[in-house]
Homo-oligomer: A and B are copies of this chain.
Amino acid sequence: MISTKLTVAGLQSAGSPANPEANLAELDQAAKRLAGQADLLITPELFVTGYDVGDRLPELVSAHHLDAVRAIAEQNKIAIIVGMAESVAAGELYNNAVFVDERGVVRGRHHKTHLFGEIDRAYFTPGSHAVTMVPYRGVNIAMMICYDVEFPENARMSALAGAHLLAVPTAQMTPFEFVADVVIRTRAWENQIYLAYINHDGVENATTYVGRSSIVGPDGGVLDRIESGTGTIIAEIDTDVVRSAQRANPYLTDTRPELNSALTAGGGCVTWSNNG
């Protein structure tokens, strides 16, 4: 098979809470800086509006924001996975990751399936598909949002479906540094795929973000990382590396789905030893 490479960048930023125009301008500047260097730019979760912006969230949502992202992608010839709220069905607001290609065409959107805490539950309808995959220039890119990737089930299903890269806009806050530092590396290792985890930094209302965005390789090694502040990280995705890593550590073929029925709604059985 042909080796396919893709250069992926992430924008970590405090953003401008409740100011979509300022955030879209920041995205445009990042896209201009990265044009010609990166093929794909990933933002944090709900980057367009900010995450903890209180009751103003629904009124900040506008279909025009996606048009602006599409224009930024097309003008800078860079694909973008943007975290934004969207009303894509009547009366339902979703916490989305939207994949826009370098021509400005929407190639897919992931509805956050695992809502976290009061903010998510107050505003959003949960998605009903754990895995959303966009094949892009030979690389299979699965998208998840924040809490989604903390569940190993989700990352595993994306890898079983053939993902090379798991792209995760997030709004990870204190005291969950452990997720950014340890869990993310495990998710990459246990599936032998790349993972890009792109977070906010700074403070919004009651929420203090932990920064610590990273791009991790299939061996769990950190390829690029930013601890705090605003900045971009960048790394190369190589499908050959995924292929050879998955051959060397064959978790995806050694897993035994016939033993996993306890993980589904059909229920399952476990063995208890009760004597004595």
Contacts and interface: CB of A to CB of B under 8 A. Distances in A.
A152 B255 CA distance: 10
Contacts of A272: 133-135, 161, 271
Contacts of A119: none
A156 B135 CA distance: 29
Interface residues of A, number: 64
SS class, residues of chain A in contact with chain B: mixed
Contacts of A258: 264-265, 267
Nearest to A130: B259
B186 A101 contact: no
Interface in A98-144: 99, 101, 103, 105-109, 113-114, 116, 126, 128-135
Copies of this chain in the oligomer = 2
Nearest to A129: B271
A274 interface: yes
Interface stretch (A36-44, A88-96, A177-185, A197-205): A177-185
Contacts of A25: none
A157 B256 contact: no
A207 to B, nearest CB: 17
A259 B107 contact: no
Contacts of A263: 153, 156-157, 160, 257, 260, 263-264
Nearest to A187: B186
A189 B116 CA distance: 17
A244 interface: no
Given A156-B263, A186-B183, A161 B107 contact: no
B160 A156 contact: no
A151 B255 CA distance: 7
Contacts of A99: 273
A261 interface: yes
A260 B153 contact: yes
Interface in A155-173: 156-158, 160-161
B259 A113 contact: yes
Interface of A: 99, 101, 103, 105-109, 113-114, 116, 126, 128-135, 147, 150-154, 156-158, 160-161, 178, 182-183, 185-186, 189-190, 219-220, 251, 254-276
19 contacts: A107-B275, A131-B271, A133-B273, A134-B272, A151-B251, A152-B190, A153-B153, A156-B263, A157-B260, A157-B262, A161-B262, A161-B270, A178-B185, A182-B220, A183-B190, A186-B186, A261-B269, A268-B269, A275-B275
